[in-house]
Amino acid sequence: MGGLCSVSISIENTISFCCNHAAKHASYACRLGKHLDVLETKMEELKALRNDVKRRVENAERQHMKRLDQVEWWLSRVEALEGEVEDLMKESVNEKKCPGCCYPKNCRASYKLGKKAAEMLKKVRRHRKKGQFERVAETLPPAPGDLKPCEHTVGMESMIATVWNCLSEEQAVIIGLYGMGGIGKTTLLTQINNMLLSLPSNVDFVIWAVASKDLKLEKIQDEIGEKLGYSDNRWRNKRIEQKAIDIYRVLSNRKFVLLLDDLWDRVDLTKIGVPIPDQQNNSKVVFTTRSKEVCGLMEAHKRFRVECLPPPFAWHLFQRKVGNDTLNLHPDIPKLAETVAKECAGLPLALITVGRAMACKKTPKEWIRAIEVLRKCASEFSGMGDKVFPLLKFSFDHLPNEKVRCCFLYCTLFPEDFVIHKTDLIDYWICEELLDEGNDRNGAQNQGYDIIGTLVYACLLEEEGDYVKMHDVIRDMSLWIANECKYFEERFLVQAGVRLVEAPGIKKWETVRRISLMANCVQSLMETPSCPNLLTLFLNENTLNTITNDFFQSMPNLRVLDLSSNSGISELPQGISKLVSLKYLNLSKTSIRQLPNELKSLEKLEYLNLEHTFALNTIPCQLISSFPFLQVLRMFGCGSSDLVVHGNLLSGGNECLVQELQCLKKLSMLSLTVKSASALEGFLSSHKFKSCARDLCLEFLSGSNVLNISCLADMKQLNMLEISDCNSLEELKHDWLQEPRKILTSIDFHSSMILKDRCFNNLQRVSVDNCIRLGDLTWLMLAPNLASLCVSRCSQIKEIISTAKCGRLAEVLLGSIKPFEKLEVLHLSYLPELKCIYQDPLPFLSLKKISIFGCPKLKKLPVNVQNAEGHGIAIYGWEFWWKELEWDDETTKNAFVPCFKSMPLNISLQ
């Protein structure tokens, strides 16, 4: 029985299970519709939740956050589930029920759909629970930097490559890029920024910050902080010291490149919180500035000047902005367009501005008009007066004071591309009272050089050795400041170098303070202008031959008058005596025959230039000495008379002139021609002359066969020495060349330094001409800074530096002086006996040009391969002479072959 009972229970459970299972499966089919309705509702709820989550994610991503991986997975699963539900709904539409019955036609199919719907409903409910996210995204670590939009560069590829290579140098950790406004410094820095972010590098941060003129350290800190993840208001409101600590905490352990754009002054990196870059952290700072001085203040290890575009690149950039459609409209337009582009002088900002403005100019006449406007008044050209000049003016405004600004504006009086000698410019400034050193001319000169340096460092002037010049667009800008902006209430009338044949009407002269008509073709001045405010009048480099006597009648305040380089002027108008305020008078390179006594009225005269007035034969006695304030007197190459005439300072050998010059108590700079041994003796006996002589010409010196050149060594300011037409002169003697051993034993162990101090250290130019008995110029060994040497028509010279004399001198100097180390120009012509310049190869570290003509016995040059490498030496001469030259070896010869420039037989360059 027990066994039967057991079997009975088992069958009963089995039957119950089967019934329940069958009922459950039956419900899949019977309740299919209800399940589908619930599924559809729950799926809609899930989709709504999905949309909410997506919006949260998108909002976070707009704040530079990154979505969480689990959120990304959930969203993708919901998308997949939505597709599955849609497929199920489509499948269920085809399933039909029996008429009047709750059971479907196809029970098996309905069962499958019902079961699938029930399972899918569970998934929907499960995903809905999982979609309750507290956070959908997380804050991203800061990106290394930001790519910046930038126009395609033209002509800057070389500079970009140079700076890029410099970034890999360990020694260069602070790099300065300087140049004038509008030249493309920011564009260059932008390219470096994008290269750092686009090319493979191990830099953690590339940070861009703009310093600008109104430097604010907090602003730079905020730009740096944003890159480091400090961007909330709480951080921005911190004190500068707290921000510095936060920045330092991040950057001290990272490799970074800080790009600072538009620096006008020193930025203290430590105050910002930026670790000082060094070779240990291998970080870099690259900055742009308009001032070379800022490069020094920032202690830049490398400094690169960003230059204007060379003509081919400038033309290419201009073409791009104008467009080929415009350039091809008329065959004359391309040539005119090249002229317009040249007026921009390679300045990218001007090229772009002018190019865009010209893109709509369709006729040659419009282009011709554009050239006229750019040349006469560039500020009237579209975009120049309201875009280009105001940007450039920031450099002007940032100059230290009004004195420097006035000195800068003075440079606009010179023509385009005109090179101005620094000392000439300073002389103008002094006589204009633009410098404030009073009667201390040396102090004023030092201040003048300091101002020139300031203007050069500010990239407002360009430096070329002893000369400066102003970029064309900068010059146009400064004229705009002087006239349109009426700076200091001054007005300039500047028509320099524009080919005038007549002076502007005198009505235009009335209100101006400075006039420049230099470098034109004006022949006469026949009107009488009224210029009560006129301070400066430049009439030099014209073709003047007539000036009416009343021309200077109404210029009571005129301080500077420059009439130089007017070869047609043979006499001065008597009315010049009315210039009672005149301090500067330049008559050099004119054809005046005599100085009138009326000049005695110019009692305030401080500067008088009579150089190269070869027609001048009369200077009345007591005229020069009537200028009690005269500080600069230039008389190099002055005078033609060698006759003894009573009352004329130029008579004889200039003995009377030398005697009268003794009366000039304030004289500080003198250039002079001495024509006799007695005049030279009087000249050398004066301590005043020794201290102020700058340029000296020794001419004729008849009766003297030996000149002790060592007596000139006391002239510490002697810059130029010319010896000409001394036909009796046989030797230029020097004490050290005669008895070097005796001199050596008479001084202590500091002999080398003492002897160097006794050299011609300031002498830069030497010319020896038509001294037919001279045998050598060995004393030039003692001119270590000589830059130019010209020797011509000296028929007995066999050696420039005598081997025998040089050997003895070398023992004294102990090898401390190397001859011709600073020489730039060497000219030798018509020296029939010359065999040797110097026995050994010379360093020639600065040599640029050698010209040799009529020296048939000179078979060898004192050069070696090193002289030719990288110096760009040009050698001028006759072809047959060059072919007969002897060389140490073929390597040396081949190195110099490209340097030679063959000249016709009837030409001898100087």
Are 790 and 873 within one domain?
A: yes
Are 316 and 297 within one domain?
A: no
- What phi and psi, each to the nearest 5 degrees, are found at residue 575? -65, -5
Say how far apart CA 213 and CA 224 lie, in whole Å. 18
> Does the residue 709 lie in any domain?
no
Lowest mean pLDDT among 36-50, 104-118, 741-755: 741-755
> What number is the average pLDDT over the span 694-722?
91
Residue type, 528: T
Are 299 and 319 within one domain?
A: no
Using a pLDDT cut of 70, give the percent of the chain over it: 89
Report which of 177, 147, 408 is spatially closest to residue 288, judged by C-alpha positions.
177
> Does the residue 223 lie in any domain?
yes
> What number is the average pLDDT over the span 438-450?
88
For all residues of the chain together, what is the average pLDDT? Answer: 88
Are 361 and 391 within one domain?
A: no
> Does the residue 588 lie in any domain?
no
* Confidence check: pLDDT of 606 > 70: yes
Say how far apart CA 305 and CA 370 lie, in whole Å. 31
Burial class of residue 21 in the structure, from the number of CB atoms within 10 Å of its CB (0-12 exposed, 13-18 middle, 19+ buried): exposed
Are 518 and 607 within one domain?
A: no
> Does the residue 113 lie in any domain?
yes
> Does the residue 729 lie in any domain?
no
**Per-residue pLDDT at 119:** 84
Are 601 and 677 within one domain?
A: yes
Using CA atoms in the order 679, 680, 681, 686, what is the torsion angle rounded to 10 degrees?
Answer: 100
Supply the CATH number for residue 228's domain: 3.40.50.300
Q: Which neighbouring-strand residues pair with 853? A: 829
Q: Which residues, at least 6 apart from 819, have a Cβ–Cβ distance to it below 8 Å? A: 780, 781, 784, 801, 838, 842
Are 842 and 792 within one domain?
A: yes
Domain boundary among 579, 614, 634: 579
Of the pLDDT bands very low, low, confident and very high (cuts 50, 70, 90), residue 15 is: very low
Q: What is the pLDDT of residues 150-165, one digit of tens each?
A: 888 899 999 999 999 9
Give me the count of residues in the chain.
Answer: 910
> Does the residue 8 lie in any domain?
no
Supply the CATH number for residue 401's domain: 1.10.10.10
* Confidence check: pLDDT of 749 > 60: no
**Per-residue pLDDT at 212:** 81
Are 572 and 638 within one domain?
A: no
Report which of 734, 716, 720, 728 is spatially closest to residue 787, judged by C-alpha positions.
720
Domain boundary among 700, 724, 745: 700
Task: Find the domain containing 613 and state its range.
Answer: 593-700
Contact indicator for 673, 637 with CB cutoff of 8 Å: yes
> Does the residue 730 lie in any domain?
no
**Per-residue pLDDT at 4:** 43
Q: What is the pLDDT of residues 316-371, one digit of tens each?
A: 999 999 999 999 999 999 999 999 999 999 999 999 999 999 999 999 999 999 99
Of the pLDDT bands very low, low, confident and very high (cuts 50, 70, 90), residue 785 is: very high
Q: What is the pLDDT of residues 663-689, one digit of tens each?
A: 999 999 999 999 988 899 999 999 889
Are 300 and 320 within one domain?
A: no
Are 65 and 97 within one domain?
A: yes
Q: What is the pLDDT of residues 291-310, one digit of tens each?
A: 999 999 999 999 999 999 99
**Per-residue pLDDT at 484:** 77
Are 340 and 392 within one domain?
A: no
> Does the residue 723 lie in any domain?
no
Are 161 and 285 within one domain?
A: yes
Of the pLDDT bands very low, low, confident and very high (cuts 50, 70, 90), residue 807 is: low
Residue type, 272: I
- What phi and psi, each to the nearest 5 degrees, are found at residue 732? -100, 100
Of the pLDDT bands very low, low, confident and very high (cuts 50, 70, 90), residue 738 is: low
Say how far apart CA 122 and CA 84 lie, in whole Å. 13
Total count of domains within the chain: 7
> What number is the average pLDDT over the span 56-81?
87
Give this prediction's pTM: 0.82
> What number is the average pLDDT over the span 23-32?
56
Q: What is the pLDDT of residues 94-120, one digit of tens each?
A: 654 444 444 455 566 777 787 888 888
